[in-house]
Amino acid sequence: MNKKTLFSLLISISFIFFFPHIIFASDVPSINSRSAIVIDRRSQTVLFGKNEYNKVKMASTTKIMTCLIVIEHCNLNETVEVSQKAAGTGGSRIGLKTGDKCTVNDLLYGLMLYSGNDTAVALAEHVGGSIDGFAELMNQKATELGLLNTCFKTPHGLDKEGHYTTAYELALLSNYALQNKTFAKIVNTKTATIYINGNPKTINNTNELLGNLNGVYGIKTGFTNGANRCLVSACKRGDLDIICVVLGADTKNFRTQDSIKLIEYSFENFVPTNISEIAKNKFEEWKKENEKSFYIYKGSPNNPSIDLKLNNEENSVYLPIKKSSIENLTCNFSCNKNLFPPLNAGTVLGTLNIYSNDNAIYCRDILLANDIYSKNFFEYFIDILKRLPV
């Protein structure tokens, strides 16, 4: 080995030793955002998380709840007269003036597309009577949805002490809101024409991914000095439908890059899998192998053969499984095989658990499918007669 070859080899070994994270990089993306999450909409399974349970400011992603509350509480054709307070709200705004009149519907487009803080206050006052009154409605809804680490103080998300959420709970809120057809239509709109005092105004969606990244159909951007750059995205390709939340990115470019990284990572690595069908097939195999291993103590000789079933086996359950893990799914059975009648159909005898990389991802109870009876007096009497000497 000549000196040049030896030197190159030493350099390569040194590079691997000092920078193993580059050579053996994980497929999990590295992002700038302070907290983030990706969830599967169908199962709410977390596909990626970074500080997803930390309480953080969420800027204008607050307006997801604002929009939802307005839709649920009033007629969208109602006319709103803009107050001085709403017209004087700072930050992002569509330019409302005191006394302007708009429909609730048009204000909602101004809220979610253009991220108007003036529209947020106008809507809050119209629905809740005041900002505080509207915040009370927002927090009531958060409680209803089980969002225990979320608190709203404003309808627009401008920085205020005590106004916070988590990436995880913001994803859950977004998933719920998207089930509302009106909400889903608004956030999936790239450009709209609204009317202020009957005069048309064209507004564009601030969501940079909408219309530019395959499958994205919403939902909301955000920025304040305290929250930094935020973006909640919904994206569907094939059978996989996800929500991606990035909060606290340093720049708009970082929030865009982070969102794209997480979305592409999710679709490249996860596939919706009918886990209930896998469980059912594994269960039928196990049942056939173990059908003669059950023992009934003092059971009636007229009992039918023991039959077993899984609870809710008729319901199909799809879970996003990492492609690299599908072949390595394992199934574990725990079942009581010594039975003491009488036992009713539906009695839980055990459990089936499916594991992916040692993590339990699916569980079903194993149930008795038929009644099992004890011996009656007559059957005991027959047994005694059989034991008597002839």
At 79, is the secondary structure helix, strand, or coil?
A: strand
Task: List the CATH number of the domain containing 282.
Answer: 2.60.410.10
Residues 285, 244: one domain? Answer: no
**List 35, 60, 233, 266, catalytic entry:** 60
Report d(CA 309, CA 304) in Å as an integer. 15
Verify that 90 and 239 share a domain, yes or no: yes
Q: Is 306 exposed, middle or buried (0-12, 13-18, 19+ CB in 10 A)?
A: buried
| Mean pLDDT of the 212-238 span | 98
More confident position, 13 or 381: 381
For residues 201 and 337, membership in a common domain is answered with no
Q: What gap in Å lies between CA 99 and CA 236, rounded to an integer?
A: 41
240 plus 315 within the same structural domain: no
Task: State whether 47 and 181 are in the same domain.
Answer: yes
121: phi then psi, degrees, rounded to nearest 5? -70, -40
Confidence of residue 20 (pLDDT cuts 50, 70, 90): very low
pTM, two decimal places: 0.85
Nearest to 333 by CA among 381, 388, 293, 378: 293
Q: Which has more pLDDT, 302 or 349?
A: 349
Same domain assignment for residues 302 and 214: no
Out of 215, 235, 250, pick the residue that ends a domain.
250
Task: List pLDDT tens digits, range 255-273.
Answer: 999 999 999 999 999 999 9
- Would 13 be classed as within a structural domain? no
Structurally, the chain folds into a number of domains equal to 2
State yes or no: pLDDT of 14 exceeds 60. no
- If phi > 0 it is left, if psi is from -120 to 50 it is alpha, else beta; for residue 364 that is beta
115 noted as active-site residue:
yes
Are residues 226 and 293 located together in one domain of the fold? no
Q: Which two tokens stand for residue 278?
A: 């896998």
User: 13 pLDDT exceeds 90?
Assistant: no
In a domain, residue 257? The reply is no
Q: How many residues does the chain have?
A: 390
The residue among 383 and 189 whose pLDDT is bigger is 189
The angle formed by the CA atoms of residues 93, 99 and 103, to the nearest 5 degrees, is: 70
CATH code at position 218:
3.40.710.10
Alpha-carbon distance 366 to 286, whole Å? 11
Same domain, 102 and 209: yes
Among residues 281, 350, 272, which one has the least CA distance to residue 313?
281
Query: Which of 219, 250, 281 is the endpoint of a domain?
Result: 250
Is 60 designated active site?
A: yes
Condensed to tens digits (0 to 9), the pLDDT of residues 61-103 reads 999 999 999 999 999 999 999 999 999 999 999 999 999 999 9
Residue 16 has pLDDT above 70, yes or no: no
Collapsing DSSP states into helix, strand and coil, what is residue 373?
A: coil
Domain check: are 286 and 226 in the same one? Answer: no
Distance CA 380, CA 300 (A): 9
Average pLDDT taken over every residue of the chain: 90
Q: Residue 187 sits in which domain range?
A: 35-250
* Among 33, 83, 115, 233, the one annotated catalytic: 115
Rounded Cα distance, 89 and 126, in Å: 15
Specify the range with the lowest mean pLDDT, choosing from 5-19, 45-59, 155-169: 5-19
> Do 241 and 301 have their domain in common?
no
Residue 322 lies in a domain: yes
Pair (232, 352) in one structural domain: no
Output 357 or 55, whichever has higher pLDDT. 55
Check pLDDT > 70 for residue 9.
no
Choose, from 50, 57, 63, 280, the residue flagged as catalytic. Answer: 63
